[in-house]
């Protein structure tokens, strides 16, 4: 018998996962998982485009049930709904199970489990949902359905530290594939079978967006379902959606790429079945000129109403590809667009300050960049640069908006410059490091050589604050935070200046003999050796961090540099002691007078070198970016 195509009335959907794990401290909780689950549920239940009957969806996300209770609930749901649907003349054909959250491994065989709210560190096997058990339940209760299993799992590093070199995703995928695998394989349009869509391949773990608002994969997956693709088909297969989601993720730095596996192809590959409605399909269908004009007017009206609703609710829709923008051509049409769009842009940009900064920025950017196929909303930049063209019907067509405006939020600037915004205090820490390093350096160099040395060190910090803020840090740090960082740095360096002003040992040349080499060393109260050690270590760490794209982990760079800086300083101090003991040549460096000044110089060199690296990185990569406050 020929297999029938999918339909909402013959489809069952199960949502699994969690956003918090109160009994498993190593799993990071995040509202991002709940956001994805809510949007996924809304997509399926919305009358357009999918229109799944509410009774055909089982929502077990963030359920407090135990693993056994969840398994029983899934089995009962499948049994009852399949019986009811068959009696109503809509026999079940398809099952989609979507898991969002964390996964891990247990036992010698690295059995893969899905973490639920009741998962406990003490007994992961008993308290979690085992993939093998889930496969058994689906094979028993949904044996004659086409089964699509989608796993968007973020793996904790501690869960796979001792496993094979392929990484957690490779182990998880292999274990999941083995659980569902059916060896016999045929070609054709299947009436049953299993396919797995995993959020990432074996080389990189799943991740959240920089602002922790969404899991990267689920955001791209749902954007594809809601927006559709340019493929001229009415329905998209799971593989089609995966490919488009991969294209969206490819534009995000370090984003994982999803993979599809079909372990049960006994009647064909379920991943290739047209399943999801393609919202863009209708616009590629041929229509009469009158129908196109009516649709265009209705679309313009809906777009304006949608923008007004967007502004009132503070909701951001996915940004469309800039290549889809179509600018108006006639002078009359241009002026009409300007008159209608400018007040709305002003309204979007004039939202109250007490609204969350990132949401306000997204609101303005989404309005400015959104488009429809008839008229594109115009930005202030586009209006100002093309005002004469707009007033001249015979003038040339203005350039699209996206070629003249680069507007981003502070989180986006930080992410593009350093590769992360998961650490919101990263720019604070690097700014403090640079200012503190310059202040300490000023203290150790000036000491008592000029009157009021504390005033000079404070002036160094305040001048540096003004310089780095105006050139780079204003795009990632609010001015109030920058002032606090500057005051703390200035206060600390002023105190150190009072301390270092007591060091008055003069500079003098000295000879020493070591390994047959005679050299002259210029001593300056341990200062310059400390600065050379610290500056060299800091410069080396900066180069390594930049080349390996690890500047997002400033803590590791700072602490690692300090550790190696101390080890090198300690080694040189021992060498100086041995030289003095063997040849009676005093270096004026080491464990004697002024050792604390030398260590301060090491710290100053490290902090200043790394701080300058972060400052220049933010300055260069954010130079052409406009930040919406």
| Residue 223 near residue 279, CB atoms below 8 Å | no
Would you place residue 520 in the very low, low, confident or very high pLDDT band (cuts 50, 70, 90)?
very low
pLDDT at 56 over 90: yes
525 contacts: CB under 8 Å, gap ≥ 6: 503, 505, 507, 588, 593, 594, 597
311 and 273 within one domain: no
- Is there a single domain that holds both residue 208 and residue 344? no
Task: Give the per-residue pLDDT at 66.
Answer: 94
Same domain, 451 and 563: yes
Domain extent, residue 43, equals 13-282
Residues 92 and 65 in one domain: yes
The answer on 312 and 260 residing in a single domain is no
CB–CB of 373/332 below 8 Å? no
pLDDT tens figures, 344-403: 544 544 544 444 444 444 444 444 444 333 333 334 444 444 444 444 444 444 444 333
At which of 352, 370, 405 does a domain end? 405
Give the model's confidence band at 288: pLDDT under 50 very low, under 70 low, under 90 confident, else very high: very low
Is 5 a member of any domain? no
5-42: per-residue pLDDT in tens? 889 999 999 999 999 999 888 888 888 899 999 999 99
Q: Which of 384, 413, 411, 416 is nearest to 399 (CA)?
A: 384
Give tens-digit pLDDT for 424-463: 577 787 888 888 778 777 766 665 555 666 677 788 888 8
User: Tell me, what CATH number does 136's domain have?
Assistant: 3.40.50.1460
| 251 and 352 housed in the same domain | no
Task: Tell me whether residue 292 is in a domain.
Answer: no
Q: Which residues pair with 345 in a beta bridge?
A: none
Q: 172 or 505: whose pLDDT is higher?
A: 172
Average pLDDT over residues 77-99: 94
Residue 295 falls inside a structural domain: no
3-state secondary structure of 600: helix
Domain-located, residue 218: yes
Clarify whether residues 140 and 216 are in a common domain. yes
Answer yes or no: is 337 within a domain. yes
- Any idea which of 116-125, 320-329, 540-549 has the lowest mean pLDDT? 320-329
Mean pLDDT of the chain: 70
Residues 6 or more apart in contact with residue 163 via CB below 8 angstroms = 105, 110, 171
Question: Quick check: is 8 in a domain?
Answer: no
Total Cβ atoms within 10 A of residue 589: 26
Say if 309 falls within a structural domain. Answer: yes
Cα–Cα nearest to 551, from 476, 484, 483: 476
Residue 408 to residues 216, 451, 583, 625, Cα–Cα distance (Å): 19, 46, 63, 7
Q: Does residue 49 have a cis bond before it (omega within 30 degrees)?
A: yes
Of 282, 314, 339, which one is at a domain's C-terminal end?
282
Tell me: do 76 and 166 sit in the same domain: yes
Tokens 């969350």 belong to residue:
356
Q: Are 26 and 124 in contact (CB under 8 A)?
A: no
Model pLDDT for residues 561-591, shown as the tens digit of each residue: 878 878 887 888 788 778 777 776 555 566 6
Task: Give the pLDDT score at 2.
Answer: 54
Distance CA 409, CA 540 (A): 31
Looking at the domain assignment, is residue 3 inside a domain? no
Cα angle 546, 552, 558; round to 5: 80
Please check whether residues 265 and 314 belong to one and the same domain.
no
CB atoms within 10 A of CB 107: 10
Are 162 and 306 found together in one domain?
no
For strands 94-106 and 146-155, give the pairing: parallel
Highest mean pLDDT pick, 131-140, 209-218, 306-315, 588-597: 131-140
Residue 413, token pair as written in the block: 């600037």
Highest mean pLDDT among 96-100, 283-287, 404-408, 552-556: 96-100
For 494-512, how does the pLDDT look when each residue is reduced to its tens digit (9 = 90+)?
777 666 665 544 444 444 4
Please, are residues 571 and 602 in contact by the beta-carbon 8 Å criterion?
A: no
- Residues 473, 434 contacting (CB under 8 angstroms): no
Listed residues 282, 317, 350: the one ending a domain: 282
Q: What are phi and psi of 507, to 5 degrees?
A: -85, 145
For residue 96, pLDDT over 80 is answered with yes
Q: Report how many domains make up the chain.
A: 3
CA 70 vs CA 38, 52, 95, 418, 514: distances in Å: 19, 22, 17, 42, 75
Rounded to an integer, the average pLDDT of 219-229 is 90
Same domain for 436 and 509 = yes
309 and 278, same domain (yes or no): no
Q: Is 25 exposed, middle or buried (0-12, 13-18, 19+ CB in 10 A)?
A: exposed
Task: Work out the angle at residue 326's Cα, subtended by the Cα atoms of residues 324 and 330, and round it to the nearest 5 degrees.
Answer: 175
Above pLDDT 70, what percent of the chain?
58
């Amino acid at each position: 018998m020929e297999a029938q195509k999918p339909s909402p009335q013959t489809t069952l959907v199960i949502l699994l996962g969690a956003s918090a794990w109160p009994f498993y401290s190593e799993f990071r909780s995040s509202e991002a998982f709940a956001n994805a689950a809510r949007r996924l549920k809304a997509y399926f239940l919305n009358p357009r485009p999918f229109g799944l009957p509410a009774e055909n969806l089982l929502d077990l996300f963030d359920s407090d049930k135990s693993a056994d209770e969840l398994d029983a609930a899934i089995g009962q749901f499948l049994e009852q709904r399949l019986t009811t649907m068959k009696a109503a003349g809509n026999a079940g054909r398809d099952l989609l199970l979507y898991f969002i959250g964390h996964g891990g491994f247990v036992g010698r065989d690295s059995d893969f489990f899905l973490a639920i709210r009741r998962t406990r560190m003490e007994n992961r096997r008993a308290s979690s949902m085992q993939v093998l058990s889930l496969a058994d339940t689906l094979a028993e209760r949904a044996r004659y359905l086409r089964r699509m299993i989608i796993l968007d799992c973020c793996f904790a590093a501690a869960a796979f530290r001792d496993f094979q070199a392929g990484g957690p995703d490779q182990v998880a995928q292999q274990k999941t594939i083995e659980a569902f695998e059916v060896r016999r394989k045929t070609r054709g349009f299947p009436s049953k079978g299993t396919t797995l869509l995993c959020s990432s391949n074996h080389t990189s773990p799943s991740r959240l967006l920089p602002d922790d608002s969404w899991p990267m994969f689920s955001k791209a997956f749902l954007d594809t379902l809601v927006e559709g693709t340019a493929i001229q088909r009415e329905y998209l297969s799971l593989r089609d959606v995966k490919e488009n989601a991969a294209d969206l993720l490819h534009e995000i730095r370090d984003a994982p790429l999803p993979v599809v596996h079909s372990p049960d192809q006994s009647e064909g590959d379920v991943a290739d079945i047209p399943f999801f409605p393609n919202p863009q399909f209708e616009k590629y269908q041929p229509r009469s000129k009158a129908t196109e004009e009516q649709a265009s007017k209705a679309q313009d009206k809906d777009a304006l109403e949608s923008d007004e609703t967007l502004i009132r609710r503070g909701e951001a829709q996915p940004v469309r590809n800039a290549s889809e923008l179509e600018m108006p051509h006639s002078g009359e049409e241009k002026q009409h667009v300007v008159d209608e769009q400018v007040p709305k842009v002003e309204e979007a940009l004039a939202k109250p300050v007490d609204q969350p900064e990132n949401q306000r920025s997204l609101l303005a950017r989404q309005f400015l960049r959104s488009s429809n196929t008839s008229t594109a909303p115009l930005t202030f930049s586009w209006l100002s640069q093309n005002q004469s063209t707009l007033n001249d019907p015979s003038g040339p067509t203005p350039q699209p908006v996206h070629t003249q405006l680069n507007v981003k939020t502070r989180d986006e600037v930080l992410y593009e410059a350093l590769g992360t915004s998961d650490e919101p205090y990263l720019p604070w820490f690097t700014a403090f490091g640079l200012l503190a390093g310059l202040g300490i350096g000023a203290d150790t160099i000036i000491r008592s050589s000029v009157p009021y040395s504390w005033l000079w060190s404070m002036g160094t910090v305040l001048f540096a604050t003004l310089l780095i803020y105006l050139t780079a840090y204003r795009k990632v740090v609010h001015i109030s935070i920058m002032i606090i960082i500057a005051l703390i740095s200035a206060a600390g360096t002023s105190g150190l200046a009072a301390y270092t002003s007591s060091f008055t040992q003069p500079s003098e040349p000295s000879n020493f003999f070591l390994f047959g080499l005679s050299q002259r060393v210029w001593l300056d109260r341990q200062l310059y050796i400390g600065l050379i050690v610290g500056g060299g270590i800091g410069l080396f760490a900066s180069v390594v961090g930049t080349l390996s794209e690890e500047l997002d982990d400033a803590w590791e760079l700072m602490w690692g540099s300090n550790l190696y800086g101390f080890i090198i300083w300690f080694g040189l101090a021992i060498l100086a002691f041995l030289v003095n003991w063997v040849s009676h040549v005093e270096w004026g460096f080491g464990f004697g007078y002024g050792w604390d000044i030398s260590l301060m110089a090491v710290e100053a060199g490290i902090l200043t070198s790394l701080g300058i690296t972060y400052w220049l990185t933010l300055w260069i990569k954010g130079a052409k970016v406009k930040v919406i406050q």
